Amino acid sequence: MQTITTHEPSAINGHLSTQPTFLCEEFSYDPPADSCILIVDSQEINRRVLRGILKSSRYRILEATSAEDAFTVLDREKVDLIIVDFVLPQMSGPDLCRRLKSNRKTQFIPIVILTSVQGAENEINGMASGADEFLTQPLHGDVVRARIRAMLRNKAAVDSLEEAENILFALAQAIEHRDPCTAGHCQRLAAYSAATGIAMGLPRTSIIALHRGGYLHDIGKIVIPDSILYKQGPLTVEEWEIMRTHTIRGEQICQAMKTLAPVLPIIRHHHERYDGSGYPDGLRGTEIPLLARILQVSDIYDALTTARPYKPAFSSARAMSILEEECQAGWRDPDIVQVFSEVLKNAPIGPEPVAWDEGWIVQQSLHNLHRELSR
């Protein structure tokens, strides 16, 4: 075991100082060196005890003496974990926790509630407020350090997955923006598909997958040469072969991310046809995953109602009439086209969709991600 002595920054009361810490090779799974912990406690003695426990770590420690103070710190600092006393002036620890967990900006910061009162009732109250851990004083240094380390590692993993997902979504939108004809296509598709899923009473996980599928369904086009993707005029048989691979390549790009698993069937199967004449697998009827059948209807409707180099934008009525013809030809799921038509009538979806709440969907999506990592 190699021991390395370093001089990492640590902080007391938000002021950085330089203190020696020790890094060992087997600690390579430690949280990032710049992890920041906020201690919210009105008692100086309690804050001092915690500082003492965390002294050997490399974390940056900030302090607040009340909930109001904590909000001020959180406004200006990127905090990775919060330790909050059960009893605070004005607002209790659990109430502060509830406020932070209901705020999109702070909801994924792990929170530890501390109390000096023994008893299950306190603990239940603390955990019900959304806290991630509950510790009873007197604190055992090793236990506190181990739990904090585990929570910070989890938080770092959530952050990096979120970043990776954001990169994929940005990539998908970059593909869309290369073609001025498809501007806004992903956003509308996400809206149409989620609204249809809501109208069908699908579970939240499916709604989230539909929303994400709206953005990611064509991500495989990144590997299709521009000469084919933007070709003016009909594609040759060979070019069509290449174009069709975007479904499988898209699935391959996204399958590395476990959290995108519910979206994979949408990406792979959004060009199947109800009669089995589609691609890539020639699935028919209900063999085609339900979410892929939903997104497909939205995809076609959007393509029909927007202008393309080879056609003008059709009216909504004409687009629906073409979709119904495609049902009669056996290509589309008639039940879904029916629901989609009702969704359009009851909650017209324009450039600013009103049938769903993007904030809610994104929040649920991140919440699931967090839960998955906590397991």
Residues that bind Fe ion (CB under 5 A): 218
Nearer to Fe ion, 97 or 292 (CB): 292
SS3 breakdown of the chain: % helix, strand, coil, rounded to 5?
A: 55, 10, 30
Nearer to Fe ion, 154 or 182 (CB): 182
Q: Work out how close the CB of 291 gets to Fe ion at its nearest, in angstroms, rounded to a whole number.
A: 14
User: What does the DSSP 8-state code read for residue 30?
Assistant: S
Q: Work out how close the CB of 218 gets to Fe ion at its nearest, in angstroms, rounded to a whole number.
A: 4
Q: Work out how close the CB of 246 gets to Fe ion at its nearest, in angstroms, rounded to a whole number.
A: 6
Q: Work out how close the CB of 186 gets to Fe ion at its nearest, in angstroms, rounded to a whole number.
A: 11
Q: Work out how close the CB of 240 gets to Fe ion at its nearest, in angstroms, rounded to a whole number.
A: 13
End-to-end CA distance of the chain: 31
Nearer to Fe ion, 86 or 192 (CB): 192
Q: Which residue in the block uniquely carries the two structure tokens 């030809």?
A: 329
Nearer to Fe ion, 218 or 251 (CB): 218
Nearer to Fe ion, 80 or 302 (CB): 302
Alpha-carbon gap, residue 6 to 56, rounded angstroms: 12
Nearer to Fe ion, 176 or 218 (CB): 218
Q: Work out how close the CB of 340 gets to Fe ion at its nearest, in angstroms, rounded to a whole number.
A: 18
Nearby residues of 336 by Cβ (< 8 Å), 6 or more positions away: 196, 293, 294, 297
**Chain position whose Cβ is nearest to Fe ion:** 218
Neighbours of 246 (CB within 10 A): 24
Q: What is the CA radius of gyration of the chain?
A: 26
Alpha-carbon gap, residue 295 to 158, rounded angstroms: 28
Nearer to Fe ion, 78 or 308 (CB): 308
Backbone angles phi, psi at 255, to 5 degrees: -75, -10
Looking at the DSSP bridge assignments, the partners of residue 60 are 36
Q: Work out how close the CB of 247 gets to Fe ion at its nearest, in angstroms, rounded to a whole number.
A: 6
Burial of 38 (C-beta count, 10 Å sphere; 0-12/13-18/19+): buried
Instruction: Confirm if 35 and 59 have CB atoms less than 8 A apart.
Output: yes
3-state secondary structure of 321: helix
3-state secondary structure of 29: coil
